[in-house]
């Protein structure tokens, strides 16, 4: 009897977490694919009805998405999808990245251990060999998340937490990937990441700097048509 109660309590403790995660993933994918247009109001009660859940997991998911820069909350209005980057914001963001990430990659190459290199290899593999989503929207949004983890891991290895936090807190990859669906974004990024990994495997700081510089520059060039 006691064991049965413990099992039931365990299920009760786990279930809400899984519900919140499911709600979060659903809203995240719709935001990344622009199914929720920038600026669109996100009504908690409506989302709860659509997903057949209570309002509590929706609130928790929206709060998490607010911290990640995908939604905004206004007093007496509630949540809405975050606006898109303007062209000036886009250019500033890439200038910011170009000032920080190439040097971060060079430092990471010089500080890598077999363990941290293996983790970077795994982060890169996650982008190409992760779960198989049922549709293009899921695939693209999950790639964006994995790409963010890969870049964050490089900055963690580089060892400057101030720089790492500055990049993380600007939600760089969320805003970039949300600009547009682009077939070249994922495939070309994978190829550019492989050039980075080659430099990391060799412990070659200058090559890592150059590979990151090329990757960020090419990423900018791929996405600039979003403003045409």
The answer to whether 2-81 and 87-227 have equal CATH topology is no
Q: Are 196 and 215 in contact (CB under 8 A)?
A: yes
User: Does CATH number 1.20.120.530 belong to domain 87-227?
Assistant: yes
Q: pTM score, two decimals?
A: 0.82
> 104 φ, ψ to 5°?
-60, -40
Domain ranges of the chain: 2-81, 87-227
| Four-way CATH pick for 2-81: 1.10.10.10, 3.40.30.10, 3.40.50.300, 1.10.540.10 | 1.10.10.10
Per-residue pLDDT of the chain (228 residues; tens, 9 = 90+): 434 433 343 433 334 558 999 999 999 999 988 899 999 999 999 999 999 999 999 999 999 999 988 999 999 889 999 999 999 999 999 999 999 999 999 999 999 999 999 999 999 998 876 444 456 667 778 888 899 999 999 999 999 999 999 999 888 888 888 887 655 667 888 899 999 999 999 999 999 999 999 999 999 998 898 888
Tell me the C-alpha to C-alpha distance, in Å, between residue 208 and each of 13, 36, 144, 152.
45, 37, 21, 15
């Amino acid at each position: 009897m006691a064991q049965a109660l413990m099992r039931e309590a365990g299920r009760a403790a786990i279930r809400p977490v899984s519900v919140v995660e499911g709600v979060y993933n659903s809203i995240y994918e719709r935001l990344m694919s622009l199914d929720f247009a920038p600026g669109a109001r996100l009504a908690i009660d409506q989302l709860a009805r659509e997903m057949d859940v209570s309002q509590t997991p929706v609130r928790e998911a929206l709060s998490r998405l607010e911290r990640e820069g995908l939604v905004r909350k206004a007093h007496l209005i509630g949540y809405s999808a975050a606006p898109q980057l303007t062209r000036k914001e886009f250019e500033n963001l890439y200038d910011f990245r170009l000032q920080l990430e190439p040097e971060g990659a060079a430092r990471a190459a010089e500080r890598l251990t077999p363990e941290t290199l293996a983790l970077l290899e795994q982060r890169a593999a996650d982008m190409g060999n992760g779960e198989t989503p049922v549709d293009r929207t899921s695939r693209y949004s999950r790639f964006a998340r994995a790409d963010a983890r890969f870049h964050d891991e490089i900055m963690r290895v580089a060892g400057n937490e101030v720089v790492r936090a500055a990049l993380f807190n600007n939600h760089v990859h969320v805003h970039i990937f949300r600009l547009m669906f682009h077939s070249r974004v994922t495939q070309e990024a994978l190829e550019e990441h492989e050039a980075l990994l080659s430099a990391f495997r060799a412990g070659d700081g200058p090559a890592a700097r150059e590979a990151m510089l090329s990757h960020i520059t090419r990423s900018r060039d791929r996405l600039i048509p979003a403003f045409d």
